Amino acid sequence: MTTLFTKLINHEIPGVFVYRDHVCVAFMSINPLAVGHTLVVPIEEVDEWTDLDRDTAEHLFHISHLIGKAQKTAFSCSRVGLIIAGYEINHCHLHIIPTNDMQQLSFANATLSVSSKELQEAAVLLRGGLPAVGLAPSE
């Protein structure tokens, strides 16, 4: 069964993308824990991160690392959190979250509704920081 993320990756439903390559995509979370919360998702449907092949896992963490570096600059945060939960959608995804305190890393504090304009504004900031870390942003 096709996952929600595959539909998003295939542009069957809208999403605000900041990065794409042959292995993964990165897009803004529609229920962010903080402004700039980004998901890094493999294009291939793999349910759990522990089921990823080594090359894909390494690539996802590398891209997440670079996006986290860009987030620190783009959102002037003190730290960037990384969460892999895997319960929301059965398609591996890494949550990369700009933070200033631990409370921002609680899913209980997720924003239930965020406007397309707010997501686009955060994406513009993040895309602007990607070249400095060696990533070419996507629209």
Question: What are the extents of the domains in the chain?
Answer: 4-25+37-114+122-128
- Reported as a single tens digit per residue, the pLDDT across 94-114 is 999 999 999 989 999 999 989
Which run of H or of E encompasses 117? helix 116-129
Beta strands in 5-77 (DSSP E): 17-20, 24-28, 38-42
Judge contact between 86 and 92, C-beta under 8 A. Answer: yes
Is 118 a residue whose pLDDT tops 90?
yes
Assigned superfamily of 4-25+37-114+122-128: HIT-like (3.30.428.10)
Bridge-based pairing of strands 17-20 and 24-28 is antiparallel
Is 138 a residue whose pLDDT tops 90?
no
Is 139 a residue whose pLDDT tops 90?
no
- Reported as a single tens digit per residue, the pLDDT across 49-97 is 999 999 999 999 999 999 999 999 999 999 999 999 988 899 999 999 9
Beta strands in 2-137 (DSSP E): 17-20, 24-28, 38-42, 79-83, 94-99
